[in-house]
Structure 1
Amino acid sequence: MKLDPISLRLFVAVMEENAIARAAAREHIAPSAASRRLAELEAQLQVELFTRSNRGSSPTAAAFALLNMARGVLNEMDGIALQMKDYAQDGGKGLRGHVRVMANISSITQFLPAQLQSFLSQYPLVDVRLQERVSTDIARAVEDNEADIGLLNNGSYGSKIRLRPYRRDRLAVVVPLGHALARKRSLRLTQVIAHDLIGMHADSALNHLITRAAADQGLQPRLRMKVTGYDALCLMVASGLGIGILPEGSARLYTGTLPLRCIALDEPWADRQLMLCLRSQDALSPVAQLLVEHLCLPQHAPTL
């Protein structure tokens, strides 16, 4: 059986766009030709990928199974093209390949920059493609073969991915200089949520953690506004619009340049475990395995 990569790429686009017309436009092909290619793919595989009705079409269980495999095949094909291009440019010297990484904002702001720099200094021809996502999306992307490696908060994400310890971080409170809490050495949640909070966006693990911890104590945080990044959170706090909770390592990036004070959060849940996740039944490429081992090396130097 010879599967056409163009048809596979089109099939993935249809699954991601949930519409043949949008997928056809994305792949620069006429809708009629897209429909014909999908029908030919079904005939070649001898399985129905979409159930069709007057209301449109919907993917079958076989389509979802094929989606994971197709992404893997297309990723490998893209990797072949990139590696051959590198070989043509340098005569075939050095380890090469590409790795798809998704990470949450805590991993990206505290640990990944230095780790990726040291890894890429050893393997300069490796292409690491990094995207920031929230932890639930990262787990789903690794499971669906959209990413090779994920870095996310510890949690329960199902049996199709496996987790390895990555790093620990600790949550802290940032307040403006001169704030009523600025002289405190540590703070409890009850003290923090008595003030206006600058929070992270609704889908973030940090937002869920704070909301749940407050609810356990019968409290309701006064969220004045929500932002999408730690930089925006610190800027809002420095402007006197509220106080915020974020990882201590991330807060330290801004306390030297903004009028902020970073204070320990004295709560058991403030100490967090970050994890590295992989597909449970997947064999990583050699270069991806090298990156995994590099990321999981013991942390000898302090984070801050």
Structure 2
Amino acid sequence: MGRIFDPVSLRLFIAVCEERNIARAAAREALVASAVSKRMAMLEADVGTPLLVRGRRGIEPTPAGETLLRRAREMLSLMARAHAELSEFQGGVVGNVRIVASVSALASGLPGDVACFLEAHPRLRVSLTERVGTEVVREVREGTADLGVVWDEVNTGQLVAQHYRHDRLGVLMPHDHPLAAQASVSLLETLAHPAVSVAPGGLLDGLLRRHAALAGATWMPRLEVASFEAAEHIVHAGLGLAIVPIGVTGDAAGALVCRPLSEDWAHRRLVVVSRTDDWLPAPARALRDHLLPRT
């Protein structure tokens, strides 16, 4: 092996493996494709074995490439963490924790829990970013985030997942909707009314389709939107109802209500995900422990 791995080549290698295409990886990193190809050739020459091969789905890592991909993510993560933690000493802050969380987690009280933690640890800094469930897991796995908070329906793989809170799905609708007078609503009752799907193809959409099918029906929303906020606007316009985690939307100045779904599966479990303690800095471990329910 001729040289020590440089961060630029490792970042480009990760991009090629994730994009499965030299041109897309180059565009992602704002480079020309020939420069990326040259870097990959140099990397393989340094390692002394093929790292990439063209497969049915595009460029794929070889077994050696899989090993390098895993280690490259770890190395870049450690470098980024070291840079971030050392730079914090310039401002007198002795730790930085990065959290990524789903919108459901943010609505469940996570910001308040983080604020409480910071009151007791004023010299720490916490960044809190919204992500969809699969992105939460990916960022924690790759080390770009220390902690994630997400619905446990997400496949967390080898990450450590610990119970945080519960939430519940509800039916968002205008206050004069025929179902609004009920204390709770079943999924089957909603199917007789126009509906809007949030993040089609996502975990919530898949859950609703699955349980509708188990009940011998079909979940066929009239409209599809990308966010809970957009769903709220659609519902407020009278175009359909939406099934959302209770608390993630406002009430549009009193024009909307959110009635809980009556089924047991509508009660969901949120978890804190992290890598093992060997990979967690002390501030991240302290915040994770603060978030876990007291036993």
2:194/2:221 contact within 8 Å kept: yes
2:168/2:266 contact within 8 Å kept: yes
1:265 to 254, 261, 274: 261
* CA deviation after TM superposition for structure 1 residue 60, in Å: 1.0
Aligned-CA RMSD value: 3.0
In 2, the alpha carbon distance for the partners of 1:273 and 1:237 equals: 26
Would the alpha carbon gap of residues 49 and 282 (structure 1) be closer, same or farther in structure 2, given more than 3 Å must change? farther
Between the aligned residues of both structures, percent identity stands at 34
Q: Deviations over 1:131-175 (max 9, x none)?
A: 411x34433444444543332222372652231112100111122
Q: Deviations over 1:98-148 (max 9, x none)?
A: 52x332221123333323334455356535262411x34433444444543
Number of aligned pairs? Answer: 291
Structure 1 partner of 2:242: 244
SS in 1 for 2:208: helix
Map 1:169-208 onto structure 2 (within 5 A): 169-208=167-206
1:71/1:146 contact within 8 Å kept: no
2:273 to 274, 277, 287: 277
* CA deviation after TM superposition for structure 1 residue 260, in Å: 0.8
1:39 to 27, 38, 41: 41
Would the alpha carbon gap of residues 36 and 257 (structure 1) be closer, same or farther in structure 2, given more than 3 Å must change? same
Deviates more, 1:60-69 or 1:135-144: 135-144
Map 1:1-304 onto structure 2 (within 5 A): 2-27=4-29, 31-51=33-53, 57-88=59-90, 90=91, 93-99=92-98, 101-120=99-118, 122-123=121-122, 126=125, 128=127, 130-133=129-132, 135-155=133-153, 157=155, 159-251=157-249, 254-255=250-251, 257-279=253-275, 283-298=279-294
Instruction: Show structure 1 runs of 5+ residues with no match.
Output: 300-304
TM-score, normalised to structure 1, is 0.82
SS in 2 for 1:245: strand
Would the alpha carbon gap of residues 84 and 177 (structure 1) be closer, same or farther in structure 2, given more than 3 Å must change? same
Deviates more, 1:28-37 or 1:168-177: 28-37
* Residue identity matched to 1:95: V
Would the alpha carbon gap of residues 76 and 241 (structure 1) be closer, same or farther in structure 2, given more than 3 Å must change? same
1:153/1:205 contact within 8 Å kept: no
Would the alpha carbon gap of residues 67 and 131 (structure 1) be closer, same or farther in structure 2, given more than 3 Å must change? farther
TM-score, normalised to structure 2, is 0.84
Q: Deviations over 1:220-267 (max 9, x none)?
A: 23411121222221221122111121112224xx12624012222211
In 1, the alpha carbon distance for the partners of 2:160 and 2:50 equals: 31
In 1, the alpha carbon distance for the partners of 2:186 and 2:285 equals: 41
SS in 2 for 1:3: coil
2:17/2:60 contact within 8 Å kept: no
In 1, the alpha carbon distance for the partners of 2:40 and 2:86 equals: 30
* Residue identity matched to 2:46: Q
Structure 2 partner of 1:302: none
In 1, the alpha carbon distance for the partners of 2:13 and 2:122 equals: 34
